Structure 1
Amino acid sequence: MLEISLLTWAVTIGLIVALLAVDLALAAMRPHRVGFGEASAWSVFYVLVAVGFGVWFASVHGGEFGAEYFAGYIVEKSLSVDNLFVFVIIMSTFVVPAEYQHKVLTFGIVLALIMRGIFIAVGAALLSVFSVMFLLFGLLLLFTAIQLFRHRNEDPDVENNVVVRTARRLLPVTDDYVGGQLFARVDGRRMVTPLLVVLVAIGGVDLLFALDSIPAVFGVTEEPYIVFAANAFALLGLRALYFLVTGLLDRLVYLSAGLSVILAFIGVKLMLHWAHVDIDERVPEIPTPVSLGVIIGVLVVVTVASLVKTRRDPSAKAHPGSLRGQQRKPE
């Protein structure tokens, strides 16, 4: 059992808040188009921060917990790439100017961290009281994996998302972005800008992804602190990664299929753990090193296969996948 002091929790959360504050300050003080060089520097920085934290964590709490952190971080990082697909679709759907995308992504990451923090607390509480939750989480991941694989060649319909439709119906929205503000006064009337609708869309997407990613990380480790840290450090680098790989995302044509395999594998791992604890201790469990090897192996195969495919067929285009099929419009 991992023992984490309140001071360690406070320092970890303080570090994450500080990094987010720097991001928000940069976005507010100097709205600009983020170039490849800047995005590369920030991406390397966040990866080094995550790796440095993992090395420290393993040295203090042992290699087993360190391996669980790195496995959770890789799971979250791979799932976050699928987030990027949807972010690209949202940005293009709402035609967000390049100089405001930094702000949108940073606020989106803040929302994601808040929601995932809540889900982690709830999930940890449920798992500590009801071991059958391992079975339910495993079934949820299996269902998600099957749906994602079935609809791997589709894009989510952002405009028809229930959250976006509700926001548009209930809130008066301006025609333009009004200098990147969230609220504006037009002809004496208080209105919201499309930027707020974009944030609502990203928040809704983050909520859906949290429902899958939190059980996935609990499949690697049962420790709430590791789950939180893996999520937080993976999400912190998401903004820079967006600007770094936006042009490369279309080439990862097999990513959704690979993620569905990873989710299914972790779902089976959770169900085996439940059976080992509640049914018979002779039921085998999948150790963390094996999980880490499978996850990395799938990601390597998916990336190489995708690059080979797009090199042979330049017209091939990647899709983030959808958890439900698109409704066909009547002809």
Structure 2
Amino acid sequence: MQLALPIWFEIGTYVVLLLILGFDLFLAFKRPHVPSSRESALWIGFYVVLALLFAGLMLWLGDAEHAGQFVAGWLTEYSLSIDNLFVFLLIMSRFAVPRRYQQELLMVGIILALLFRGIFILLGAALIENFSWVFYIFGAFLVFTAIQQVRTGPHDEVARESRMITWVRKRVAITDTFDGAKLRTQIDGKRVFTPVLMVLIALGTTDLVFALDSIPAIFGITQSPFIVFTANVFALMGLRQLYFLLGDLVDKLEYLKYGIAFILLFIGVKLVFHAMHANELPFINGGQSIEWAPEINTWTSLIVIVAAMAVAVVASLIRMRVVAAAAGAERDRT
């Protein structure tokens, strides 16, 4: 079923989102600081309410099916963005970026993420429009990604980036010290790059890798480019504030990666089932639809996504309390 929304709503949505992102970018560069927990929580709450209001507008102007697709897609992208956030934390720590300038670099990372995802959305939509068999590839890729999510961790992403950074350092003059958030500085009359260049390369590489994961995941929920794009934008809005609010807590959510892996696995299987229904490959069932493959609807997807993240977060918090209690008991004995 095609999504039919008034053209003014779609254009207005793009304009409003662009203005909000522009304002957030202006604040990050005009007033670099470490936001307080209260400030961060208020901004995150604002963006969450904004996303829910948008879903309500889609329900009013469109239908419940597509409003549900947006919510499911937004939650999926939000969970993947939190995973992305953990790698951002490791990158900032690895390069010892002063906290005062971290939000400026985070905004650049978020803008890069939007650009990469926008490109992949256009490519993904074109592929889906012309080649239904691409769902087999998307599904298999997400299953593989889910397995990798469990087997590896964010440190592996940073190690992968380190090889690229070592290659760049051998070819570009880069100082070891920061000069605010400047990309280039002057030392002994010579213009050289600051470590900001390395941070941007690391952030860009991370964004590219996560875009490759996130776009097939959301296309497994909806094939509407409008919903795919808006869900991604809403998921990335507030990521900068979430970075400062959660801080090291993300590192302690030990079971979060398993929740994300389960979501990716579920959507991967859903995509394969969808591909079986839309099958046109002559060497599979003679090019005919495979009717016995179940179709997983939007509301089932939404329930699975919410349940997976809730279980992962609650289990992680329980483990944190158990570990803290054990550490306290150990201190009492000594």
TM-score, normalised with respect to structure 2 = 0.90
Deviates most, 155-164 or 22-31: 155-164
CA distance in 2, matches of 1:91, 1:277: 45
Which of residues 314, 318, 325 in structure 2 aligns to 1:308?
A: 318
Secondary structure, counterpart of 1:179 in structure 2: coil
1:56 and 1:4, CA in 2 relative to 1: closer, same or farther beyond 3 A?
closer
TM-score, normalised with respect to structure 1 = 0.90
Deviates most, 110-119 or 16-25: 16-25
The code of the aligned residue for 1:290 comes to T
1:4 is displaced (CA, Å) by 5.1
1:170 aligns with 2:171: yes
1:276 is displaced (CA, Å) by 1.0
Q: How does 1:68-147 map to 2 (within 5 A)?
A: 68-147=69-148
Larger Rg: 2
CA distance in 2, matches of 1:185, 1:271: 55
CA distance in 2, matches of 1:182, 1:18: 26
1:174 is displaced (CA, Å) by 1.9
Deviations 1:19-64 (A, max 9, x none): 2221221122221122111111111111111111111112111111
Give the structure 1 partner of residue 255 of structure 2: 254
| Percent identity for Structure 1 against Structure 2 | 45
1:241 is displaced (CA, Å) by 0.8
The code of the aligned residue for 1:239 comes to R
1:296 aligns with 2:306: yes
1:5 and 1:111, CA in 2 relative to 1: closer, same or farther beyond 3 A?
farther
Give the structure 2 partner of residue 180 of structure 1: 181
Give the structure 1 partner of residue 158 of structure 2: 158
Q: CA RMSD in A?
A: 1.8
CA distance in 2, matches of 1:208, 1:261: 19
CA contact 1:20–1:106 (8 Å) conserved in 2 = no
Q: How does 1:2-81 map to 2 (within 5 A)?
A: 2-3=3-4, 7-81=8-82
The code of the aligned residue for 1:126 comes to L
Secondary structure, counterpart of 2:324 in structure 1: coil
Which of residues 277, 280, 286 in structure 1 aligns to 2:296?
A: 286
CA distance in 2, matches of 1:223, 1:284: 21
Secondary structure, counterpart of 2:291 in structure 1: coil
CA contact 1:120–1:228 (8 Å) conserved in 2 = yes
The code of the aligned residue for 1:299 comes to M
Give the structure 2 partner of residue 327 of structure 1: none
Consecutive unaligned residues of structure 2, counting only runs of 5 or more, are: 280-288, 327-334
Deviates most, 171-180 or 292-301: 171-180
1:181 and 1:277, CA in 2 relative to 1: closer, same or farther beyond 3 A?
same
CA distance in 2, matches of 1:235, 1:182: 24
The code of the aligned residue for 1:240 comes to Q
Q: Which runs of 4+ in 1 moved over 6 A?
A: none
Deviations 1:167-215 (A, max 9, x none): 3233221221112111223223222211121111111001000001000
1:148 is displaced (CA, Å) by 1.2
CA distance in 1, matches of 2:5, 2:247: 37
1:171 and 1:314, CA in 2 relative to 1: closer, same or farther beyond 3 A?
farther
CA distance in 1, matches of 2:9, 2:108: 25
Give the structure 1 partner of residue 284 of structure 2: none
Consecutive unaligned residues of structure 1, counting only runs of 5 or more, are: 317-331
1:282 is displaced (CA, Å) by 3.9
Deviates most, 215-224 or 174-183: 174-183
CA contact 2:185–2:194 (8 Å) conserved in 1 = yes
CA contact 1:163–1:204 (8 Å) conserved in 2 = no
CA contact 1:77–1:234 (8 Å) conserved in 2 = yes
Give the structure 1 partner of residue 200 of structure 2: 199
CA distance in 2, matches of 1:123, 1:311: 43
Q: How does 1:266-277 map to 2 (within 5 A)?
A: 266-277=267-278
1:118 and 1:5, CA in 2 relative to 1: closer, same or farther beyond 3 A?
farther
1:190 aligns with 2:191: yes
CA distance in 2, matches of 1:80, 1:169: 32
1:63 and 1:193, CA in 2 relative to 1: closer, same or farther beyond 3 A?
same
